[in-house]
Structure 1
Amino acid sequence: METLANLEAFVRSAELGGFSAAARHIGLTPAAISRNIALLERNLGVRLFHRNTRKLILTEAGERLLLSIRGNLDALQSAIAEASADKEAPVGTLKVSVPMSFGMRYLLPMLPEFLRRYPDVNIDWQFDSRQVDLVADGFDAAVGGGFELSPGVVSRPLAPAHIVAVASPSFMKGKKKPVSPDDLSEWRGIVMRWGTTGRIRTWTLRNARGEEAPAPLNADVILNDPGVMTEAAVQGLGVAMLAIPDVLPHLESGALIRLLPRWYVDAGSISIYYSTRMALPVKTRVFIDHVVEEFQHHRYAERFAGNFG
């Protein structure tokens, strides 16, 4: 009977297109992933991948196996964790790192129901956009985007991290709406300065046809926080490139309008990060499940997507 480690190594390598990406996702080394897949191929007596120096390509047998098991792998892992977990109620301090604006708007409202379900869990949250070291800093989990996965840390995607061009109706009054990214250079821009390097952040837009173009915003208003940039855009100070979660309430209320609706920046995923997939403390496991459940209930993955039109 195949081990769960071998099956997960196969599925993640197929999904992510390589052993290195699968290793980062699971928290193992590429050599361990390669070894697990080799064992799986030997035990099954079939070749699952065509390998070359650039990428992995599934064989016909690999495609059949992936189709059969990929939808059940996460459910199986959850069932194993549930069966082996301490059956006592979750208890203890839950230390989590969350981005300031995103955490206040989307994660903090999840806490009342979480604490109603698990009253013996205490909350210790750090609101900070920087990447933390989960293990060294003693965090149970972190939520954000673009984290580099250190050994032993895994991520579970929650929603896309798409960035779009926005401005207020008052700023756009009397102006012709842009029809291409180049048109953004005609107006006052609100841009972000990296706190670590001091450089102005730049973006490359893409559309559904796969075309790419830079977002040529003028650096007329320079700020260092997405929440402040959002408020500056609402106040009519210019055009800004902002993540959809930051501007969604204002787009829905009409305080901001989206420019170039067929263009967006794909900045990866908003994910929840934790130190290991197996043997999680009960408090951490139920928190992850609660966040995933809330994201699904509010359809955030769909609402945060910028690739429509």
Structure 2
Amino acid sequence: MDTLNGIACFVRSAEAGSFAAAARVLGLTPAAVGKNVARLEVELGVRLFQRTTRRLSLTEAGEAFRQDVQGSLDQLNHAMANASARTTGPAGELRAALPNAFGREYIVPMLDTFLTSFPSIRADWRFDNRPVDLIADGFDVAIGGGFDLRPGVVARALAPAHRILIASHRFLDDGPAIATPADLAGRSGILIRSPQTGRVRDWVLSNRYGAEAAIELDRRVLFDDPDAACHAAALGMGIALVAVQSALPWIERGRVKRVLPDWWVEGGNLSLYYPAQALLPQKTRVFIDHIVESFRVQDLAGRFNALHPAVL
């Protein structure tokens, strides 16, 4: 068992890049992780890491050993967890990464029935608009859009990630009518910075007939949070470009209305992300199934479509 613990500490340290980060994933202290790796190195007779005060990097032997054992370790851990789940039910800590407002508005309400169905699962959720590194950060699952699909990660589409233009009734009443995309030129815009690059992407509008048009709003306000953009739009600060799922609660409460309802931005998909493993932990599998079924029952894929009546 000591050898298995050492291998687990080694693999998680290699993934996370430090003993401290691996310790957070494993529920140990950094000192314990370091000692377990050191014992493993003595047992193998090779140095697995080059250590400095600032950096932890794999040696050539360490990289070869990591490739040999990582998949087997994951399969063994999941086999043990799934064997236990057959008698006790899915159990353990479920670490999920969710966008701020979207997670609160749509996913948190799904949590109560999930925990009631699986009382041995504990939810540990992080709310952040920035995409996470699913493997290195030790998450079981993430929900969002715009993730880089790295090796070892699977994306399961839940709904379209259409973006639409919204503004307050007062803002629209106080200015010239906006009937075509060309009418956006020079109007105050509330735009979202990319969480990955910090820049504002030049999105292109499209319609059901395949026509395209540039968005030429004045970049008056820049945010990194879509809910803040919706709030600013509701206060009459300008026209916001946000995902349908962000705009929908504000539209339903009558705080904003759709601008150019025949036009939207194609933004890929809102997806579930999880490790690509043949033997997925039961806690992760039942959570994925619960989210997919909740989206179906609530018709969220339809409601998040830019052509749904609720947002036209």
Q: What TM-score results when the alignment is normalised by the length of structure 2?
A: 0.69
SS in structure 2 at match of 1:149: coil
* Bigger radius of gyration among the two: 2
Task: Decide whether aligned partners of structure 1 residues 142 and 195 sit closer, same or farther in structure 2, where only a CA change above 3 A counts.
Answer: closer
How far does residue 222 in structure 1 lie from its aligned partner after superposition? 2.1
Q: Secondary structure at the match of 2:232?
A: helix
Structure 1 stretches of 5 or more lacking a match?
Answer: 1-80
Instruction: Report deviation, 1:153.
Output: 0.8
Q: Is the 8 A contact 1:167 1:240 kept in 2?
A: yes
Give the corresponding residue for 2:203. Answer: 203
Which residue in 2 is equivalent to 1:184?
A: 184
Q: Secondary structure at the match of 1:165?
A: strand
Q: Deviations over 1:206-260 (max 9, x none)?
A: 0111111111111112222111111101111110111010010111222111011
Query: Which residues in structure 2 correspond to 1:1-309 (within 5 Å)?
Result: 86-87=85-86, 88-276=88-276, 278-307=278-307
Aligned equivalents of 2:93 and 2:252: distance in 1?
36
Deviations 1:187-219 (A, max 9, x none): 211122345544333211101111111111111
- Aligned equivalents of 1:130, 1:299: Cα separation in 2: 26
AA matched with 1:150: R
Question: CA–CA distance in 2 between the matches of 1:128 and 1:144?
Answer: 10
CA distance in structure 1 between the partners assigned to 2:149 and 2:214 by the alignment: 28
Q: Map Cα deviations across residues 16-72 of structure 1 (whole Å, 9 max, x no partner).
A: xxxxxxxxxxxxxxxxxxxxxxxxxxxxxxxxxxxxxxxxxxxxxxxxxxxxxxxxx
Partner Cα distance (2:196, 2:149) in 1: 19
What CA distance in whole angstroms lies between the structure 1 residues aligned with 2:152 and 2:200? Answer: 33
Task: Give structure 1 regions of 4+ aligned residues with deviation exceeding 6 angstroms.
Answer: none
Q: Distance in 2 between matches of 1:146 and 1:199?
A: 14
Q: Secondary structure at the match of 1:156?
A: strand
2:74 aligned partner: none
Paired with 2:177 and 2:159, the residues of 1 have a C-alpha distance of 29
After TM superposition, the score normalised by the length of structure 1 is 0.70
SS of structure 2 residue aligned to 1:219:
strand
Secondary structure in 2 aligned to 1:267?
coil
Q: What is the alpha-carbon distance in structure 2 between the residues aligned to residue 157 and residue 173 of structure 1?
A: 38
**Is the 8 Å Cα contact of residues 186 and 216 (structure 2) preserved in structure 1?**
no
Letter in 2 for 1:191: L
Root-mean-square deviation (CA, aligned residues, Å) is: 1.9
Structure 1 counterpart of 2:162, one-letter code: H
Q: Is this contact kept in 2: 1:191–1:201, CA < 8 A?
A: no
- Counterpart of 2:266 in 1: which secondary structure? strand
- The alignment covers a number of residue pairs equal to 227
SS state at 1:305 partner: coil
Corresponding residue SS for 1:306: coil
- Checking the alignment, whether the CA contact within 8 Å between 1:177 and 1:259 is kept in structure 2 is no
Distance 2:96 2:136 in 1: 13
How has the CA–CA distance of structure 1 residues 147 and 195 changed in structure 2, closer, same or farther, with 3 Å as cutoff? closer
Deviation at 1:290, TM superposition (A): 0.5
What is the aligned partner in structure 2 of residue 30 from structure 1? none
Q: What is the CA–CA distance in structure 1 between the aligned matches of 2:191 and 2:183, rounded to whole Å?
A: 16
Partner Cα distance (2:289, 2:167) in 1:
36
